[in-house]
Amino acid sequence: MAYLSSPDFDGTITYDSDDDGNQVGGLGSVEVYASGMRNPLGIVLHSNGKLYGTNNGPNLNYGNMAKGCDGEQIEDVEEEDKLNLIEKGNYYGHPNFKRNECVWRKFDDPSDDSYTAPLLVLPSSSNGIIEFQSDHFE
């Protein structure tokens, strides 16, 4: 979340140098609502009050990717896109090493205490989401 109307807004997010994931820049102006999403190109605040978003999977043929903060690599992967119910504080599987998120999770891993699985797996590339409202079917 970014508090753009704050007179002290500073959107520069930086982390401390010891890589423990503590944000030092942008405090009071920007906070992470939920993490672990890669290019959530479609987000909608539904009339039910819940936030949903699509999440693009990794690109094939861009080389190996880091699996964790220790530098371990996994082979070039291709995964489907995801539809997530985005809830505050949840982690959705795509790590940000600067935030000390060190575990990459596959789209078909089940939810646990540290990971929230998608509601639905979508074909790539699903780049949007919309809520359609109608009383036609009531």
How many whole angstroms separate alpha carbon 110 and alpha carbon 31?
A: 27
pLDDT digits (tens, 9 = 90+) for 71-85: 777 776 677 888 999
Q: What is the pLDDT of residue 133?
A: 84
- Give ∠ CA 3-102-114 in degrees, rounded to 5: 75
Domain boundaries, given as residue ranges, for the chain: 1-31, 34-138
**Looking at per-residue confidence, does 106 or 118 come out higher?**
118
Q: What is the pLDDT of residue 92?
A: 92
pLDDT digits (tens, 9 = 90+) for 52-70: 998 887 766 776 676 667 7
68 touches 94 (CB < 8 A):
no
pLDDT tops 80 at residue 122 = yes
Give the count of alpha carbons within 13 A of 5, CB side only: 0
Between the CA atoms of 26, 28, 34 and 37, what dihedral angle is there, to the nearest 10 degrees?
A: -20
**69, burial (CB in 10 Å: exposed 0-12, middle 13-18, buried 19+):** middle
9 touches 15 (CB < 8 A):
no
How many whole angstroms separate alpha carbon 38 and alpha carbon 88?
A: 16
Residue 123 confidence class, pLDDT cut points 50, 70, 90: confident
Q: What is the pLDDT of residue 5?
A: 81
Q: Rounded to the nearest 5°, which phi and psi values hold at 98?
A: -65, -25
38's tokens = 């890669």
Residue type (1 letter), 75: E
pLDDT digits (tens, 9 = 90+) for 24-56: 777 777 788 898 888 787 899 999 999 999 888
